[in-house]
Every structure is written in structure tokens, then in C-alpha cells.
Amino acid sequence: MQANPGNAIGVFDSGVGGLTVVRALMERLPFEDIIYFGDTARVPYGVKSVETISHYTREIAEFLLQKQVKLLIIACNTMAAVASQVVKDLSPVPVLDVIDAGALGAIAATSRRQVGIIGTPTTINSNAYARAIHQYEPDVRIFSQACPLFVPLVEEGWLDHPVTRLTAQEYLKPVLAQDIDTMVLGCTHYPLLKPLLQEVAGSGVKLVDSAEAMAEETAALLAELNLANPQRSQPDYQFYVTDVPLRFQTIGERFLGRTLSNVHVVKW
Ligand code: DGL
């Protein structure tokens, strides 16, 4: 398949969380069309097996490739952690993933080479961030922590809530004890907790938002491959989901930071 600059960027995630990446892309690349796929019927992926996640990931990538996207972005850290090779093996168009973007962001941010990574249990168990960082900078020290309660707390909208603050203090205690100078928010949901996490981590710790890092990497790749959309009109955004659960609209709009329209339900 020949990638065409006028085609849309395909972005996918296990559910609504990847809308944080879409939001960063909309801000950084305001003339690009985007087709988003969120597997809202099967979320969460963060506690599932590698085999199951790989199987779901393949189905979603194939769906988006049929829509003639010019680039695939794996917005879900969990999918990127365990199944990015599945996508790269089948895709005729370039593939970017949040873990590589977050790893590069951490390398750029760290001053003392002491980096904390937080994410879902599957992402942390995969060690994917450590591998990605060490591929570029082998001497960076990595301290990881799974934070499984953050996803439901964010979906509950408890972004600045005593329960979330207490949970964050508990989760971050071991990584902060390692005197980290940088912490990667290695999950689609965590950018919404940025102010609270910054407060808990303290001003001496730089937070790397993998959604923003992803948007930067996308802009650089489109420029390098001459794939940036030359149109200067209003872009087209389409959202495909596998279910419309209760509160989908409210939660989706919280992640996207704007009204969520053009939502299509896919049954397969
Ligand atoms: N999108 C997932 C991630 O970034 C979080 C939600 C889930 O567990 O599916 O890891």
C-alpha cells in the first residue's frame, strides 16, 4: 500500500484512553485527518495475557489498514508493550508506538539518569520501557511501578481527589525512594493525573507525558517522509468503538478535551 499524504492517521487503543493521544495530535498537527479505534467492548487490556492482547491488536490494525490510513499509531501503552511487533509485521505503512516515544522523551528529560516508569501491570511486567530506553542509553537506571488503580480512578473522574492522592502516594513511594529525576506516565490515562502526580512526586521530578511525546514524534516522521497533509481546511475526525458503555460520552470528552462526535459502533 502506498501511503498518501492526504490519507488519515490511524490511532488505536484498548478504549477511550487513547483519546489523550488524539488530543495531543489535534493540537500538534491541526490539519491531519484522524481515524480512531477504541476497543471499548474488551477494555481493559492492562491485566490481560500477551496472547489475548496480540490477537486483539492484530484485528484492530487490520481494520484501520482497510481504511487506507497513512500511518498507524499504537496509543495504548499495554498494546505497545507486548504487541507492537505484531503490528509492524503486518503493516505496509509506518507504525509508531507510545513506548518508543515515551522512552525518547525520558532520555531527553533525565538529568541524573534515574528514571521512574509507571503503567498498567502488563506494561510494567513486560519491561518494554526499560528495553526501549536501554536500546538508546544503556546506563540509565530504571525503577518501575504498576499502578492498576489509576485507570478506574481516572474513569471515575477523580482527578483531584483525596483517594487518588493517597493511592498515588502509596504507589509512588518506592520509586521516589530511588531518587528519580524523571517519571514516565506510561499509560493513556495518566496524563489526566499530571497535576496531582506532579504534586506527589515534587517539583524535582520531571513528568514525561507519552501522549505529547507521541505527537512530537508523529510530526517529525510525517515531515521526514513527506507525508504531512498539505490541506489547510478543517480536518475530519472519525471514531470507531466496539461498544458504547454507560458514561462513554462523558468519559470520552474528558480525555479528548472537546465534544466527541462522529462515533461509529463496530460489531465483529
Ligand atoms: N490503554 C491502556 C494503557 O495505556 C490502559 C487501559 C487498559 O488497561 O486497557 O496501558
Section 220-244 average pLDDT: 96
Amino acid occupying residue 39: D
**Pocket residue to mutate for ligand 1, from 45, 79, 117, 190, most atoms within 8 A of Cβ:** 45
- Range of lowest pLDDT (63-72, 99-108, 161-170, 242-251): 242-251
In the predicted structure, residue 173 carries a pLDDT above the cut 90: yes
Q: Is 38 in the pocket of ligand 1 (CB under 6 A)?
A: no
CA angle 5, 101, 105 (to 5 degrees): 130
Q: What is the largest CA-CA distance in the chain?
A: 51
Is the distance from the beta carbon of residue 188 to the nearest atom of ligand 1 less than 6 Å?
yes
Q: Return the SS3 of 245.
A: coil
Q: Is 45 a pocket residue for ligand 1 (Cβ < 6 Å)? A: yes
Would you place residue 128 in the very low, low, confident or very high pLDDT band (cuts 50, 70, 90)? very high
- The matching CATH number, chosen from 1.10.10.10, 3.40.50.1860, 3.90.1150.10, 3.40.640.10, for 9-97+212-265 is 3.40.50.1860
Share of the chain above pLDDT 70, in %: 99
Residues taking part in catalysis: 76, 187
- Cβ contact 10:62 at 8 Å: no
Give the residues across from 237 on adjacent strands: 34
- Cβ-contact 60, 39 below 8 angstroms: yes
In the predicted model, is pLDDT for residue 21 greater than 70? yes
Residue 13, beta-bridge partner list: 38
Ligand 1 centroid, distance to 15 Cα (angstroms): 7
- Check whether domain 100-210 has CATH 3.90.550.10, yes or no: no
Rounded mean pLDDT, 208-228: 95
Query: What does the pLDDT read at residue 35?
Result: 98
The per-residue pLDDT of the chain, averaged, comes to: 96
Is 102 a pocket residue for ligand 1 (Cβ < 6 Å)?
A: no
Reported as a pLDDT band with limits 50, 70 and 90, residue 245 is: confident
Give the three-class secondary structure for 144: strand
Closest ligand 1 atom to 44 CA: 9
Which pLDDT does position 84 carry in this prediction?
97
Residue 2 is predicted with a pLDDT of: 65
User: Apex CA 88: angle with CA 86 and CA 93, to 5°?
Assistant: 140
Cα separation, 121 vs 146, in Å, equals 5
If you take atom 2 of ligand 1, which residue's CA is the nearest one?
76
What integer pLDDT is reported at residue 268 of this predicted model?
Answer: 79
74: enclosing H helix or E strand? strand 71-74
Q: What does the pLDDT look like over 140-150, one tens digit per residue?
A: 999 999 999 99
pLDDT single digits (tens) 60-77:
999 999 999 999 999 999
Pocket test for ligand 1, best of 151, 154, 210 (most atoms within 8 A of CB): 151
Give 246-267 pLDDT, tens digit per residue. 889 999 999 999 999 999 999 9
Residue 1 has pLDDT above 80, yes or no: no
Q: Whose CA is nearest to atom 8 of ligand 1?
A: 46
Please give the pLDDT value at position 167: 98
Enumerate the domain spans of the chain. 9-97+212-265, 100-210
Q: Which atom of ligand 1 lies nearest, measured to the CA of 188?
A: 4
How many CA atoms does the CB half-sphere of 76 hold within 13 Å? Answer: 32
Spell out the residues 6+ positions from residue 81 whose beta carbon is closer than 8 angstroms to its own.
Answer: 99, 119, 122, 123, 126, 128, 129
* Per-residue confidence (pLDDT) for residue 246, from 0 to 100: 86
Residues 144, 154: Cα–Cα separation, whole Å: 20
40 lines ligand 1 (CB under 6 A): no
pLDDT at 196 over 80: yes
Q: Which of 32, 38, 33 is nearest to 12 (CA)?
A: 38
Tell me how far apart the alpha carbons of residues 222 and 207 are, in angstroms, rounded to a whole number. 26
Cα pseudo-dihedral 250, 252, 257, 259, rounded to 10: -70
Residue type for 103, please? A
Residue 155 has pLDDT above 80, yes or no: yes
**Within a 10 A sphere around the Cβ of 166, how many other Cβ atoms?**
11
Residue with cell 489509576: 150
Question: Does the beta carbon of 120 lie inside 6 Å of ligand 1?
Answer: yes
Of 189, 214, 251, 255, best ligand 1 pocket probe by most atoms within 8 Å of the beta carbon: 189
- Give 191's DSSP letter: G
- What integer is the mean pLDDT of 17-44? 96
